[in-house]
Structure 1
Amino acid sequence: MKNEVKKGNPWALLPLGVFLVLFIGTGIISGDFGKMPVLVAFIISAAVALVFNKKVSFGRKIDIFCKGAGHSDIILMCIIFLLAGAFGNVTKSMGGVDSIVNLSLSILPPNLVVVGLFVIGCFISISMGTSMGTIVAIAPIGIGVAEKLGIPVALVLGAVVGGAMFGDNLSMISDTTIAAVRTQGCELKDKFKVNFMIIIPAAIITAIILGISTAGYKASLNETYSYEIVKILPYIAVLIGALLGVNVFVLLAGGIVLAGAIGIFTNSLDIFTFLSASSQGMIGMEDLAMIAIVIGGIVELIKFNGGIDFLLSFITSKIKSKRGAEIGIAALVSIVDLCTANNTIAIVMAGPLAKDIADQYDIDPRRTASILDIFSSCWQGLIPYGGQVLAAAGLAAISPMEILGYLYYPALMGICGLLSIVLGFPKLKSMEKEQSKIA
């Protein structure tokens, strides 16, 4: 039976409205959705939240904001972001990214070049945990392949973006995965298993479509690509450790140390460049960490003023079942991503409300985390003003709109996500039962 939900106050959502007006309005007026810094837009929204509700003293509202900003889940998420940034930059600095790309190209099937690029993108993105980094690494190679074989550049870039979004959605060190599991209170390995079962058909179908659509283009890449297997070990260690359930702090810290040790052993780094690479990686995640902290404070004020109660009341009034609740969560994170063009921010914003809905309708947190990640990543890989499509189009000097017709994987990921909700797949044993078996 559903719990009683307070009607709340719709005006408490004004800070979010201000953010959307600032972000989307600036993008529409300037033609560039990157013109308005996201953190600045959220700071202004936070100011609006602080002046709302004159019945409460300003000092009390500051306390409420700080309570939300300093919530243990938010701080843990920020620390994990910093560690993930350090791991990514250290492995890149010691040559891990180049080794993964070159190893993948060395084993690329000569008659399945575009399919191979898609698979390479999947492998690299799940190893690196970043779709943008994957696109920057292999899009230039894809462009060269397209020009050499006469394949439409947009088709090849669609395959590259699709592969990049595969790992962005699944990787153990992806900021979207970290945000999804932290907001829903489940383990990385558990979310990975559920998420993988839902989206693997999308990857397989994408590979088949790419294979059929490029069957007439056959050639081999004659260049020799050098790589060092030892430099790929940190990625493999993190993936295996995550699947075995190693604590995420131990996992990432161990990965950083292992990558640094390999870099020093292979003379790719010394102790000081290792420390510098770690620092630079953390600095690269500072914006995201600060955004998460500010959003935490804003959400707490919105909750205090009745905004969350209003959203819950509105959404649950349209929901008649657990399946309807899952569709509501999917719609919620999709709308936020379409508005913000950032799937991590979409999850951080929608996560607390999704958690409330999931608790009310007894939805497994592993499933909720998967829904959040799948639908935010799906739209992030499809919108022409998203960073991923813009980066790919920019590297090829073509319009983002040209790539849209070839974004098979993000579209299929969304379809598989919807089918998983409609069909109730996969069937999950309760977390309590699994934990009792382990005990």
Structure 2
Amino acid sequence: MGNPSKRPSIWEALFPIVFLMVLLVINIKVFGTEGLSGSNQLVLIISAAVAGLIAAFRLNVKWEVLQDGMINSISSAMSSILILLLIGALAGTWMLSGIVPAMIYYGLKVLNPTVFLVAACIVCGVVSIATGSSWTTVATVGVALLGIGKALGFSEGLIGGAIISGAYFGDKMSPLSDTTNLAPAMAGTDLFTHIKHMMKTTIPSILITLVIFAVIGVMGNPEGTIGQVEEISTVISDTFAINGWLFIVPVVVILLIIKKVPAIPVLLSGAILGAIFALIFQQEVIHNLAVILDIEGGVSLQSFKIMMIALYGETSIITSNEIVNELLITGGMSGMLYTVWLILCAMAFGGIMEVSGMLRVIAEAVIRKVNSVGSLIAATAGTGLFFNVTTSDQYLAILVPGRMYADVYRKRGLKGENLSRTLEDSATVTSVLIPWNTCGATQASVLGVATLTYAPFCFFNIISPIMTILFGYMNWGINYYSKKEMKLINEEEIVA
């Protein structure tokens, strides 16, 4: 962080946040779900400018310091941006190769409207635990489940809520997850103590979520009919060469993730394998696209160009069924550019807020209001959400509160797993509910469902922070240091 010559007041620190929130409310009212196309990005840039003006003229922070803060903040998101672009490429080749259509085809054979939402949530949870990645789960299995759910007649917001609820449950509980490793590291506890402690709040949260989805499945009345589902299945099988060999690609991707291969090479491998399988199994689809796009030349030239378009651009496969046509559209890497733009603007705003000291002032003001275990946990959860909103980054929402509250928890006799659990119950799961957060923007782009459309149905993500606050105030599942341990901690602090 820079060294502003003047400490910001709480009102100076809050003004850019309030300005951002007011402008976003107006923007959402005017543009609705189209805000991601550019207006949300401009709101963040304008808000960053307001924060910069306060930092420069009220706090005497030099432009070079503000610029470095923005650059460092954006740099921290570069891996997420690369992953996002590769997810776009993977989605393109997986659609063209028939992998996603095959998932939809077989899914329609085994799922029915009554159990679909529960099944979607559980499947995404299991895959996310196995892979440790909610992003990969949503981009692969989630996309297929969205297609199945739409074919069954469910609204895309409700389907998205079930997918994301399961994916983020699995992400939280997986020892392979980066956030599940980051939270205990910040709180000063070990990974498996952290996971075991999380079960106390996470299991009730996911059980309540599944009950809600089960009730909706039983009581709901989706618009899809058996005849419509059969027609969709027939159209998919007539358009693509559907077979079990196609599932080799997602299995390979999942195995690579389980082997802890980094996400970028995994996704690139998945995209390339998708292209290879398209060349092997979907020559007729490639030929038809070449005719529609009026691509001249021999088979090899046509195939090469179609593969490249699937990786970087929009691919639309036309059938006789309008519902299927909606399922068979992908944007490739270019379809992710609005989201990349949003992330860059959000990180610029967060960088100025952090380097100017404004975020620190707000955080310290929160800590001063804490007077009980319940209020401490509530403050931690609220701070995680606050940093998701202001820094637009899930990792900062874990890192900064983790550093802020570690000593406070220790001095109050609370073991580190209480802090790490609260960070996960708030920062990890709420990130996907914020439209301009890297997680919210990414999942909206991957699923093609606006954040504010799916957010009300992400019951697990909404219940989790409420559950952890309830446990805090009721003093349930809280681990305390013994008197002997506290004596040792106090002696160590005196020596230090």
TM range (shorter): 0.5 to 0.7
Q: Which residue of 2 aligns with 1:116?
A: 116
Deviation at 1:309? 1.7
Q: State the Cα deviation string for residues 134-193 of structure 1 (Å, max 9, x = none).
A: 6752343232xxxxxxxxx7xx77863442222452577xxxx9995798698xxx7997
Q: C-alpha separation between the residues in 1 aligned to 2:448 and 2:86?
A: 27
Distance 1:80 1:92 in 2: 18
Mapped to 2, the partners of 1:120 and 1:185 lie a distance apart of 29
Confirm whether residue 248 of structure 1 aligns to residue 269 of structure 2.
no
Letter in 1 for 2:311: S
- Partner SS for 1:318: coil
| Residue 103 of structure 1 pairs with residue 154 of structure 2 | no
Is 1:315 the counterpart of 2:363? The answer is no
Contact 2:179/2:428, CA 8 A, preserved across alignment: yes
Q: Is the 8 A contact 1:118 1:159 kept in 2?
A: no
Of the structure 1 ranges 50-59 and 321-330, higher mean CA displacement relative to structure 2 is found in: 321-330
Greater radius of gyration (CA): 2
Deviating more after overlay: 269-278 vs 322-331: 322-331
- 20 and 132 in structure 1: CA distance in 2 versus 1, 3 angstrom threshold: farther
Change (3 A) 1:206 1:316: closer
Structure 2 equivalent of residue 3 of structure 1: none
Q: 8 Å contact 1:94–1:260 — kept in the other structure?
A: yes
- From 273, 276, 280, give the equivalent of 2:306: 273
| TM-score, length of structure 1 as denominator length | 0.66
- Do 2:142 and 2:163's aligned partners in 1 also have CA atoms closer than 8 Å? yes
* Change beyond 3 A, Cα 1:75–1:420: farther
Are the counterparts in 2 of residues 23 and 41 from structure 1 also a CA contact under 8 Å? yes
Match of 1:58 among 59, 63, 79: 63
Q: Distance in 1 between matches of 2:281 and 2:195?
A: 34
CA distance in 1, matches of 2:149, 2:46: 36
**Is 260-269 or 206-215 further displaced after alignment?**
206-215
Give the Cα–Cα distance (whole angstroms) in 2 for the partners of residues 414 and 221 of structure 1. Answer: 39
For residues 396 and 244 of structure 2, what CA distance do their matches in structure 1 show? 39
What is the deviation of 1:313?
0.4
| Aligned partner of 1:48 among 45, 50, 60 | 50
Alignment check: 8 A CA contact 2:353 2:359 kept? yes
Residues 1:373 and 2:428 are matched in the alignment: yes
Q: Which residue of 1 aligns with 2:138?
A: 129
Shift of 1:310: 0.6
In 2, the alpha carbon distance for the partners of 1:12 and 1:217 equals: 46
1:298 is matched with which residue: 324, 327, 349?
A: 349
Task: State whether residues 169 and 460 of structure 2, in contact with CA within 8 Å, keep that contact through their aligned partners in structure 1.
Answer: no
Equivalent position to 1:37, from 36, 39, 45: 39
**2-structure distance, mates of 1:124, 1:283:** 26
Residues 75 and 293, structure 1, Cα contact 8 Å, conserved in 2: no
1:158 to 1:275, Cα distance in 2 relative to 1, 3 A: closer
Note if contact 2:41-2:341 (Cα within 8 Å) is conserved in structure 1: yes
Q: CA separation of 1:205/1:178 partners in 2, compared to 1, >3 Å: closer, same or farther? A: closer
Distance in 2, Cα, partners of 1:317 & 1:37: 37
Instruction: Write the distance in 2 (CA, Å) between the matches of 1:294 and 1:245.
Output: 31
Q: Using a 3 Å threshold, how does the CA distance of structure 1 residues 56 and 220 change in structure 2: closer, same or farther?
A: closer
Letter in 2 for 1:297: A
Letter in 2 for 1:79: L
- Could you tell me which residue of structure 2 aligns to residue 26 of structure 1? 27
Distance between the aligned counterparts of 2:159 and 2:340, measured in 1? 28
**Whole-Å separation in 1 of the counterparts to 2:360 and 2:220:** 56
State the Cα distance separating 1:203 from its structure 2 match. Answer: 4.5
Q: Is the 8 A contact 2:363 2:383 kept in 1?
A: no
Amino acid at match of 1:317: R
Give the Cα separation in 2 of the matches to 1:194 and 1:233. 33
Structure 2 unmatched runs, 5+: 1-5, 129-135, 186-190, 287-302, 314-331, 411-415, 436-440, 481-496
Alpha-carbon distance in structure 2 between the residues aligned to 1:392 and 1:257: 22
**Cα distance 1:122–1:214, how it changes in 2: closer, same or farther (>3 A)?**
closer
Deviations 1:1-42 (A, max 9, x none): xxxxx97533144333322121112334x3736447221111
Distance in 1 (CA, whole Å) between partners of 2:117 and 2:124 is 10
Q: Deviations over 1:112-150 (max 9, x none)?
A: x3213441365369665159956752343232xxxxxxx
* Native 8 Å contact 1:118 1:207 kept in 2: yes
Per-residue CA deviations over 1:353-395 (Å, capped at 9, x if unaligned) read: 3343355557569743553232345788xxxxx998xx9999x
Please name the residue that 2:16 is paired with.
Answer: 15
Quick one: which amino acid aligns to residue 106 of structure 1? K
| In structure 2, distance between residues paired with 1:273 and 1:419 | 54
